[in-house]
Amino acid sequence: MSVTWTTEKVLALSPDASSSKSGQQLANASKWGLLGHNAIALWGECQGSGKSPYRTQIDLTEPAFRCSCPSRKFPCKHGLGLFLIFAGQPDAVTEGNPPDWVQEWLEKRSQTTQKKQEAKAEKNVDPAAQAKRIAQREAKVTAGLAELELFLQDVVRQGLATVQTQPYSYWDRAAARLVDAQAPVLAKRIRAMAGIPHSGHGWADRLLTQLGKLHLLVQGYQRKDALPEAVQAELRSQIGWTLKQDELLSLAQQSDAAAEVCEDCWQVLGRRVTEEEDLQVQRVWLQGKASGRSALLLNFAHRSQSLESLAVPGTQWKGTLVFYPGLYPLRAALKHREESTAWTEPTAGYATIEDAIAQYGMAMAQNPWLENFPMLLMAVVPYWEGETCCLTDEAGARVSLDTEFKQEWTLMALSGGHPVQIFGEWNGSTLMPLSLGVQGRWIPMEMSS
């Protein structure tokens, strides 16, 4: 069975809540002068404020969007509106051959993909130049970590109470030096710590935990040559020195042990898009039906550009992933995949919250720098505890939901007070729900921040 597009799945592709609202307003066939589709594409013409209608087209194999409107959002409201009509009113969309402007776009996309593949195949790496670049970056990172070690010592020596009086610039200066040292992930950690002293009760414990993780990173990297390869790879990743996807796939092609290859039928459990400075970051969580293996696909785009739709929650596809080396590997690169199909029930999850927390503890024992842990709870009931939305299981164990999650009442309404399946990202203290399984439906919880 091919993917059955539903309203929930289409809205999961929306860049923000305002686009979703505008798209739903355009999900009316009477507002479109042309509506058509075939096996691989969907197209339409929507009358705007100008003389000519906006031409909107969707490549259903990705899906990918294009529209002649001036919006810089991807997909724009016209793309969402067209897709919502296709999902909710399929009889309103005529099946047939695409017009020339759609066919030209599809051919151009095919040619671009082929050229990229050819360029990758022809790309030659100069070993001497590569070794020189690595040595230069190694020197910068080493110097940057030496400065970071002094900064951490100063924070502890002065006392955490003193840190609470420091302005944001205190942290930003330390982060900027790490950016100069080509250690961007460490810089991100430092900037994130700036708000902890003002985060309320328990801030000192939370700050000390993050300081300890940074100290462990510094000490580990300074001794990396004496550590196993997997630990070295994790340390480099936590600093921001990761393999490029092309390099990882090349290692897999050479059957290098550092690149773990896994073939499976991958179920898409959840998707989240966040913004980090000028970048959009898309995280797509997968689970292998046969292996039970969790995997994370990352995609990046400039804020003004469109994010490639890696997958939609509630779909699955047979494919091959290559995992990045490290401790408790989760991040993977897509090597190959077949056509998506739909599913309604996840293969496996945690029967109880206690089981999920125990597995998280095992993961943290392997990788103490793990930030987001995939957690699929198979039977939990959402409820309010004071002003905090929580989940509880049959045994009475509970977890709190992340305060950034704003769809508590939607979650309550969909569950109706009955156990549901919930997938989300666990950060060690709260869960961010990304999708929900109820009555045979797998519903993405629109999550962009």
Burial code (b: 16+ CB inside 10 Å, e: under 16) for 66-105 equals bbbbebebbbbbbbbbbbbbbbeeeeebeeeebeeebeeb
pLDDT tens track for 233-260: 999 999 988 888 888 988 888 888 888 9
pLDDT at 105 over 60: yes
pLDDT at 116: 66
Out of 93-107, 201-215, 259-273, 335-349, least confident range: 335-349
Q: CB count, 10 Å around CB of 133?
A: 11
DSSP of 27-88: --GGGEEEEEE-SSEEEEEE--SSSSPEEEEEETTTTEEEESSS--SSS-HHHHHHHHHHHH
Tell the residue number behind the tokens 């402007």, with chain if given: 101
**pLDDT of residue 124 exceeding 60:** no
Using pLDDT thresholds of 50, 70 and 90, give the confidence band for residue 285. very high
Query: Per-residue pLDDT for 409 more than 80?
Result: yes
Checking if the pLDDT of 118 tops 70, the result is no
Q: How high is the pLDDT of residue 303?
A: 65
How far is 16 from 27, CA to CA, in rounded Å? Answer: 17
Crossing angle between the packed helical segments 127-158 and 203-222, to the nearest 10 degrees: 140
The answer to whether the CB of 391 falls within 8 A of the CB of 378 is no
More confident residue, 421 or 439: 421
Give the mean model confidence (pLDDT) for residues 179-197: 92
Q: pLDDT per residue over 72-102, tens digit each? A: 787 899 999 999 999 999 899 999 999 999 9
Q: Which of the four pLDDT bands, split at 50, 70 and 90, describes residue 119?
A: low
pLDDT of residue 17: 80
pLDDT at 62 over 80: no
HSE-up (13 A, CA, CB side) for residue 222: 13
Q: How confident is the model at residue 374 (pLDDT cuts 50, 70, 90)?
A: very high
Candidates 407, 166, 191; CA nearest to 183 is 191
- With CA atoms as reference, report the closest residue to 145 among 212, 215, 234: 215
What does the pLDDT read at residue 2?
Answer: 55
Q: Which residues contact 394 (CB under 8 A, 6 or more apart)?
A: 352, 379, 419
How many Å apart are CA 442 and CA 342, to the nearest integer?
Answer: 10
pLDDT band at residue 123 using 50, 70 and 90 as cut-offs = low
**Local confidence band at 449 (pLDDT 50, 70, 90 cut-offs):** very low
- What pLDDT is stored for residue 306 in this prediction? 64
Q: What confidence category does residue 117 fall into, taking pLDDT thresholds of 50, 70 and 90?
A: low
**Continuous H helices in 181-305:** 184-193, 203-222, 229-239, 245-253
For the chain, percent of residues with pLDDT exceeding 70? 94
Cα 145 to Cα 330: distance, rounded to the nearest angstrom: 26
121 or 158: which leads in pLDDT: 158
Question: What is the rounded average pLDDT of the residues 341-367?
Answer: 91
> Is cis: bond before 346, omega within 30 of 0?
no
**Rounded average pLDDT over 42-69:** 88
